[in-house]
Amino acid sequence: MIKFVARFLLHRIGIAIVNQYINDQLKIMSAKKVSKIAVLTSGGDSPGMNAAIRAVVRTSIYHGLQVFGVSRGYNGMIDDDIFEMYSRSVGNIIQRGGTILKTARSAQFFETEGRKIAYENLKKRGIDGIVVIGGDGSFKGAQKFSNEFDIPCIGIPGTIDKDIAGSDFTIGFDTAVNTAVEAIDKIRDTADAHDRLFVVEVMGRDAGYIALHSGIATGAENILIPETKTDMEAMIASLTEKEKRKKLVNLIVVAEGDEFGGGTEVGNYIKEKLPNADVRVCILGHIQRGGSPSCLDRLIASRMGYHAVECLINGTHNVMVGIEDNKMKYTPLDNAVKAKQKISEEWMRIVKILAS
């Protein structure tokens, strides 16, 4: 009796597995088939974009798809600056910063007429899938374009700001932070030599992740970011107390988008309130965008590029590919656009305790 029940259960389980397999295959077959893919980089450049381009191109070719590069983001799509890419097209680029496809911000693409022109340029080549490497503005354009013309789009988060929900890291963030840390370490050396207070401005118009991570990593006494209210009086009180106990070397890291202002505004305020302090301001600027991508940025860019093509093939469309807890996560483009990463209270508490 036991053997009969066991055989019966195995038989039913086998049928269930087969039915599930058939259903999965039907879903794949019913999904919009993609045969030609366009890849572009849009918005601000970030180290690792080339690694993502390389992964998209070679994964597409592996699956027997044609792949086209679009120069200068959506501007190139409108201007018909589109060309076929091959495996050799992306040789020797994984270690390079910037983007071989160039990038731009396109006001024209946000006009209906501009998108129509872009669609016609894709249509005449038979392009039926798009991979967009960029930030939230780029994803907004991709989402709107896909809704209007029924072309599936996949987003890859390429931005040094790490300000897009759905991924623990964005391509370029790790490299930008390491660039900032290296620069701030050098600034601290000269600050120590002269007993100076340095205000260092890093990039981050709307997000303070570069300031937060680089500030903690370099032992900054204060970190000013857009996500939290800036209490300048409390900062001055803290610096005054440190001045009394002869702690003259202080480092303040401020994101360019802090509510009080950037490095210059913060530095001027400190000079006014603490006339005896030897205050210097250093703005790191676009140095944070350039340079050879770190190992982490190359790895996540390669992984995201591979999965972007797999999504188009398997019928998972209009999502951003991200990585959370070392696992792939697929966030609808609309959600990736609207949502923002949030800085936890734990990080802010760590800053307060370690800077005391």
Give yes or no: 45 in active site.
no
Decide if pLDDT at 18 tops 60: no
| Average pLDDT score over residue span 186-209 | 90
Q: What is the largest CA-CA distance in the chain?
A: 93
For the stretch 323-329, contacts whose Cβ atoms lie closer than 8 Å and that sit 24 or more positions apart, written own/partner, are 323/167, 323/168, 323/169, 324/166, 324/167, 324/168, 325/168, 328/303, 329/166, 329/167
In the DSSP assignment, the letter for residue 98 is S
Angle at which helix 49-62 crosses helix 295-314, to 10 degrees, equals: 40
How much is the pTM?
0.86
What would the two tokens of residue 251 be? 């480092």
Residue 326: exposure state from Cβ atoms within 10 A (0-12, 13-18, ≥19): exposed
pLDDT digits (tens, 9 = 90+) for 240-259: 887 777 766 789 999 998 98
Q: Which domains does the chain have, with CATH numbers?
A: 31-172+293-338 (3.40.50.450), 174-290 (3.40.50.460)
| CB-CB contact of 180 with 173 (8 Å) | no
Instruction: Give per-residue pLDDT as tens, 341-355.
Output: 677 788 878 887 887
Mean pLDDT, range 98-103, rounded to an integer: 95
Kindly report, residue by residue over 25-67, the tens digit of the pLDDT. Answer: 444 444 568 899 999 999 889 999 999 999 999 999 999 999 9
Catalytic residue among 128, 161, 163, 297: 161
Measured CA to CA, the distance from residue 324 to residue 335 in angstroms comes to 15
Q: Extract the tokens encoding 268.
A: 């001027």
Cα atoms in the Cβ-side hemisphere of radius 13 Å centred on 106: 29
Contact between residue 255 and residue 202 where contact means Cβ atoms under 8 Å apart? yes
